[in-house]
Structure 1
Amino acid sequence: ICFMQNALRQQRFVREVTIQYNLCNEPWLKYSISIVADKGLKKSLYTSARLKKGEVIYLETHFNRYELCFSGEKPRSIGSNSSASDLEPEKHQNNSHHHLQNGDRGAMEHELRDVFRWSRCKKAMPEVAMRSIGIPLPAEQVEVLQDNLEWEDVQWSQTGVWVSGKEYPLARVHFLSAN
């Protein structure tokens, strides 16, 4: 009985894969939350980790193409000193924790946080053209809608994605990497 329950439980999570044609008439996957959902318990399989390793997610509505990519690490202040601003990335050391003395205001701790960029592609191009230009696309090819997003600012749903509180109903999804 236990085996049958496990089999039924696993069967519920079998994903349906449907191919659709993108805005350039190339085959892409129909958007499904299971495509962008984290795979398993290994952090290396998390969608955010895939982006950090250089993959980029391209998402399409019926009219526009969007790009979600990793844009670096930024320090975030942690502590009681609310007047301190984030350190500039180039002034930050490579370790993940850094203490900064602020005179008699005490120590401020900084930790690195991953940040992402959400952009609208100015023109939907075939994959070959995109690869020749560069993945992620260069600044002149995209309109940056949100920069310095934390992963929690990107909320996936059954029908699309919410980025900083704005909904984008999605039709198709495609992962690309630079290499």
Structure 2
Amino acid sequence: MGAVLLQNTSRLQRFIREVTIQYNLCNEPWIKYSISIVADRGLKKPLYTSARLKKGEVLYLETHSRRYELCFAGEKIVKAKPPTQLHDPDIKKSPNHQLHSTNGNKSDSDNVVVDVFRWSRCKKILPQRLMRTVGIPLPLEYVEVLAENIDWEDVQWSQTGVWIAGKEYALARVHFMSMN
């Protein structure tokens, strides 16, 4: 009986995600960084991290001494890939990419619209209450923009942090925020 209970318990533990609470740089409870916190949840687009950001949530990430902000920055028109690449089944297209033709005109058929994101360092570490007062995402006078017009594919998450614009940030804590 004990062996069966142990086996069932170990099966259950495989599906339980560990969440550890830490105190942020303002001594407020945030979640300890884990890749599972920022990983897309399932196959439904509204559960993708990029979709959450596009809907108005902002991701705040902290190292042991600094706070960063990752937010949706809008859409950008870019040159489309040649049709041979678009229809090649061996080329994988990310489900986070939102590709739209700008309109039906021949001159615009070479362009697509993609979602872009902004990575910034918070100049001053503010409590959440004050952050909501000044605005989420924070206004430009509160952040130093480190990289803008980032394609979602260029945000590379790892077990220990994130790579953005060729630089690694070792993360300690993470928190999604919105104005709501």
TM-score by length of 1: 0.80
The 1:22/1:79 distance shift into structure 2, 3 A limit, reads closer
2-side partners of 1:99 and 1:163: how far apart? Answer: 32
- Larger strand percent: 1
Q: CA deviation at 1:78?
A: 1.4
Q: Check the 8 A contact 1:120/1:142 in 2, yes or no.
A: yes
In the alignment, residue 41 of structure 1 is paired with which amino acid? L
The 1:9/1:77 distance shift into structure 2, 3 A limit, reads farther
- Residue 145 (structure 2) aligns with: 144
Q: Check the 8 A contact 1:98/1:109 in 2, yes or no.
A: no
Q: Deviations over 1:18-39 (max 9, x none)?
A: 0100000000000000000000
The 1:35/1:79 distance shift into structure 2, 3 A limit, reads closer
Percent identity, aligned pairs only, is 68
In the alignment, residue 46 of structure 1 is paired with which amino acid? Y
Could you list the runs of 5+ residues in structure 2 that have no partner in the other structure? 1-6, 83-98
Q: CA deviation at 1:101?
A: 7.4
- Residue 118 (structure 1) aligns with: 119
Could you list the runs of 5+ residues in structure 1 that have no partner in the other structure? 81-94
SS at match of 2:102: strand
Question: After the TM superposition, which of the residue ranges 11-20 and 48-57 deviates more from structure 2?
Answer: 11-20
2:34 pairs with 1:41: no
In the alignment, residue 27 of structure 2 is paired with which amino acid? N
Question: After the TM superposition, which of the residue ranges 52-61 and 12-21 deviates more from structure 2?
Answer: 12-21
The 1:138/1:8 distance shift into structure 2, 3 A limit, reads same
Cα RMSD (Å): 2.4
2-side partners of 1:174 and 1:38: how far apart? Answer: 15
In the alignment, residue 54 of structure 1 is paired with which amino acid? G
Q: Deviations over 1:75-122 (max 9, x none)?
A: 111156xxxxxxxxxxxxxx92136979xxx77511110000000000
SS at match of 2:111: strand
Q: Check the 8 A contact 1:78/1:109 in 2, yes or no.
A: yes
TM-score by length of 2: 0.80
- Residue 92 (structure 2) aligns with: none
2-side partners of 1:79 and 1:55: how far apart? Answer: 30
2-side partners of 1:171 and 1:69: how far apart? Answer: 19
